[in-house]
Structure 1
């Protein structure tokens, strides 16, 4: 992680101061088999034309969560879960409650290589089994060797702060000064103010003591192990690898700045990591590479974004984070987020990926759920999801949908079922046992927790988290929006109302939720898929499309243009399937839960309105 709560406010200081729902009907065995095979087809995702693409040529959008900050703790030995059973419970909940189809899966260098040159295969085996729990639930995975403040072993047992990442032996090699952050109220200030952290980061990027070589060797061994111990079908669900979380120089060399540091030290590291992926048999999977950490927010003016790396192409994905440091600070943004708050920020992500010739993923975003700015979370998160969906604010979407841009992939920070139930000895100090929140530097961002019965429950509005999104588009996505009607306390947040110029569409939607996808067909026969949230029961979901109109989509068959089916993985989550058989044709589909048994007349009238609107806006 991770800039929420504390690290985000750090940057402000730096800048300012220096349940199962089945589809309608019971499909035949053959139809069920066809539907179950649509998303996981035994082949990996690739990157083409600035999008993730599956074996059927469909554009794929990844949405989910980071699993999880538990990896940063010692209580489960650097693993996201205490057991495979807990991993399965988390995966099922993530799919059924959180609507996710992917996770960023955190790994720890410290536990992978506790002794220099000796990779712990027991750790790798446990991590691989926990990954398998998500893959078996139909959830794609991309691992991340995570670090924050370089290593926990830089910190004294009585320190106010802690870190994660590098093993103890790596810290011992440096003979670093006693850690001290001076006047630091926020944990992230250690990045640029703690001499030990700065020196250790500097050493890693300059390969002092062969530290970077050791890390790369461990990464290759890890990737080789994972590939060898997953089946071919399971390995197909592994998207790629995130080499390093939130990289930072520590200290710049003379005359160096953030941009030249990326060029001279960070990018060569990614090239080396890419070679290790190839050697481990991951040559067909992209490296999801992050720019310097100051690129991840909306306060720092430091330059970056891998601007001098040239065309990244299909072997790399532009991978960034985003936290609203102004909102988290409690100083630089008064009040809540509003419609369109982040469309410019996320538009910059789209533009940078496009210029680099690749796709993008926002692998971390979020906002604290506890503390002085927690009240902003409902609007901040809604605005972030809105910006992932489209680069157009809600008030303008219906009039200018053609500038919507590609739908961004993203994984929220975080999904930790142990939230509020930890037993972490901070810096191995038995007198500092952390149990609340995320049990790490006072953070509290998990979207989930276990209740007293051991059942996973959401800590945020389900309408916000469990969303419609186009998980696979047969052709090219032209525009997309989703009005989730999530709540800020007792207030329903409606930022994209249907305009009065479409009275029958507005009548169908009413006070309900709705999405609208516009795509241009690509000539394939595999359906377009949209995730159906639990708030969209199949029997009461309305679809208005140029492909037809349906109230209560039927079960999928190879001849049904609009249908519903279970998501793969047996978690009870569902999807809408839209099948076209042409190429280069503009299609649209409105999906809403606002209507109750609408008449054929209303459905036809709404279709007429949408057809005229689409012809006008995209003609």
Structure 2
């Protein structure tokens, strides 16, 4: 729903990839934020889908939309679920998937469809193994002749990709199309995408991630970049053809590089030597802090992940498209996780640390869209027979290879809501020049621990510094491109419209009014979640707009003189910075 000249209108917003980001039919730049739904797709107890029932999907979608402001999910499906036998496409599985997806699209949440695999298949592992996989069906594994699986001395399950000969040989066969397995994969994808494309609203779909975390299985003496050129890119091009033939030609393919790119260790790949992909593809990266997962004992803080996220931005630009971070996060078992995730979101918001933002905002860069790993409503309540072994029933965490990443358990958010329910520019009527957000999230779980501001205002901006002190706030700067639709910014639940202060070139208000250039309304598909609308009718193309949004719930109102002074400072800062 959009407020245009006082009228509420419904507008579908398909997201198109381009060098300058995702856009809607108005030409507004879009930002997507949300979660992966979910690791339960790896489990047979969940019938290889994120939810056991459509009702569970509906409940989850409602909680996610209302409590986190998410406007996107990465929805996992499984090759094994789609094609349980060589001659069967399970339309009942696809029907259940579509019903679950609709619970999200009906609530204004866009969907990236993800064909998920890890370690290629669970059927490569013996019943007593420490590890398991997911993805390919048993009939595919039966085609090959694979050695007894063994990871050797492994600290993390991902090491199977490097040392487990069964896993590596199966992946090698896929990329070389031995036994025709890649052809079979593309054929079932054509059937699945045709079915889902007919069952789902295309305006709410973001595209397809055709293969989660691709790993080579063997380089034949070549480099990772050469392998990407010779095997990964041709696969993506074939899958792109499948998408086009199945009716998905208007939506991009989300192309992931080699799995270990940008994770501290094993940096080969990154699609860094292939030609520009263009807007029919998205550069789709994951990010996990390999160092802190293994050997680095330090805590995350202001600017910790700027370099890693900027690498993703720069690689996307080099490929002539936009970037998307479809997985990031950390285990809930680590005491450092709350601020690690906070710092990752900060890196998604801006190229800059909080300490440098106000003095260097012109280099803030693009806001990255992302989906966090992950959202599992069954966290800690599983009953999964690991590799079919009734003596190894997995109940805790994610019930998969010892992981525990879900941000929700028993219907409640596990992290400080201020980390997850964030101010972000969901639709910008022009070109985003800078965005920064101070969430004031604490370093413990569920809101416990220490609070510390990272986005610090220079002392020279006296009134602004005073206004935002010990308060959540965000600042957005954008260049008008003649779009008449409003700029939309998600308001976290802590930003009550009646107690939110907005200072902008469009005006300055203490408490957001019901109408005018600065107003608020509910998010599409939500009952309580709110968004801020900033409208600049008649503004000349090229005009620089700026908005400072402050959570002033601790006071009934901000004095008019303070608003006037803050606006003067803000406009002076914007004019001198951009």
* Range of TM-score over shorter length: over 0.9
The counterpart of 1:497, out of the listed 441, 456, 459, is 456
1:339 aligns with 2:302: yes
The counterpart of 1:306, out of the listed 271, 274, 281, is 271
1:269 aligns with 2:224: no
CA separation in 2, counterparts of 1:91 and 1:296?
A: 31
Q: Map 1:134-173 onto structure 2 (within 5 A).
A: 134-173=104-143
Gaps of 5+ in 2: none
CA separation in 2, counterparts of 1:358 and 1:186?
A: 33
- The corresponding residue for 2:443 is 488
Q: Which digits, 9 at most, give the CA deviation of each residue in 1:286-327, with x for residues without a partner?
A: 00000000114122232x111233111110000000000111
- The corresponding residue for 1:3 is none
The counterpart of 1:283, out of the listed 228, 249, 263, is 249
CA separation in 2, counterparts of 1:100 and 1:571?
A: 14
1:246 aligns with 2:205: no
SS in 1 for 2:424: coil
Q: Map 1:588-603 onto structure 2 (within 5 A).
A: 588-594=546-552, 596=555, 597-603=557-563
Shift of 1:509: 1.5
The answer to whether the 8 A contact 1:137-1:571 is kept is no
The answer to whether the 8 A contact 2:147-2:165 is kept is yes
- The corresponding residue for 1:587 is 545
The counterpart of 2:534, out of the listed 574, 578, 583, is 578
SS in 1 for 2:205: coil
Q: Which digits, 9 at most, give the CA deviation of each residue in 1:385-421, with x for residues without a partner?
A: 1100000111111100000000000110001111111
The answer to whether the 8 A contact 2:4-2:485 is kept is no
- The corresponding residue for 1:406 is 366
What is the TM-score with the length of structure 1 in the denominator? 0.90
The counterpart of 1:545, out of the listed 498, 501, 504, is 504
The counterpart of 1:98, out of the listed 28, 51, 68, is 68
CA separation in 2, counterparts of 1:584 and 1:497?
A: 28
The counterpart of 1:390, out of the listed 350, 353, 356, is 350
Detail structure 1 runs of 4+ shifted over 4 Å in the superposition. Answer: 27-32
CA separation in 2, counterparts of 1:412 and 1:430?
A: 32
The answer to whether the 8 A contact 2:262-2:308 is kept is no
- The corresponding residue for 1:292 is 258
Shift of 1:28: 11
The answer to whether the 8 A contact 1:50-1:353 is kept is no
What is the TM-score with the length of structure 2 in the denominator? 0.96
1:368 aligns with 2:331: yes
The answer to whether the 8 A contact 2:453-2:470 is kept is no
SS in 2 for 1:471: strand
The answer to whether the 8 A contact 2:65-2:526 is kept is no
SS in 1 for 2:563: helix
CA separation in 2, counterparts of 1:83 and 1:30?
A: 42
Shift of 1:185: 3.1
Q: Which digits, 9 at most, give the CA deviation of each residue in 1:11-58, with x for residues without a partner?
A: xxxxxxxxxxxxxxxx99995733xx2xxx235211234210001100
Q: Map 1:498-537 onto structure 2 (within 5 A).
A: 498-537=457-496
The counterpart of 1:318, out of the listed 283, 286, 290, is 283
Shift of 1:344: 1.1
Q: Which digits, 9 at most, give the CA deviation of each residue in 1:529-552, with x for residues without a partner?
A: 000000101110100000001122
SS in 2 for 1:598: coil
RMSD between aligned residues: 1.5
